[in-house]
Amino acid sequence: MPLELKLRGKSTTQSHRSAIYYADLVVRTGASLNEAIGQAHTLAAERLAAGFDQSALDGAARQGFANGNFEDAPDEGVEIVEEFYPEECETPTAPTTAAANEHWPPIAQASQRNGTHSPYPQKQWL
């Protein structure tokens, strides 16, 4: 069907005067709706006579999209980088507790204080 996409911009006080765009799918300029439908029927008949199978094409497209569907888990990031850039990357290692205590002594002291996690000294109640 002979259609065209028209973009319209609009700004309102609710959008703080920034542009909001609308996309309209309309019959091509200079053609009526009945003419557009007639052209679509004519084109479909010509394609069918030429051996064009739209349903087979749609099925192949669906299958192609289904075959390309995959996910990368967040924990696979290092493996993916190693695969594509093996000489540039080193696997990051988690800092040891001793190294962490070296950099953040107040936190280390607070975590050793009877299960409390405050960096401030605790008052002793009698």
Identify whether the C-beta of residue 111 lies closer than 8 Å to the C-beta of residue 117: yes
Taking Cα atoms as reference points, which of 34, 33, 52 lies closest to residue 43? 52
Whole-prediction pTM: 0.41
Kindly report, residue by residue over 12-35, the tens digit of the pLDDT: 888 788 888 899 999 999 999 999
- Distance separating the N- and C-terminal Cα atoms of the chain: 87
Q: How many CA atoms lie within 13 A of 17 on its CB side?
A: 0
pLDDT, tens digit, for every residue of 55-102? 899 999 988 887 876 666 667 777 777 777 777 655 555 555 555 555
* pLDDT the model gives residue 46: 94
Give the count of beta carbons closer than 10 Å to the beta carbon of residue 22: 9
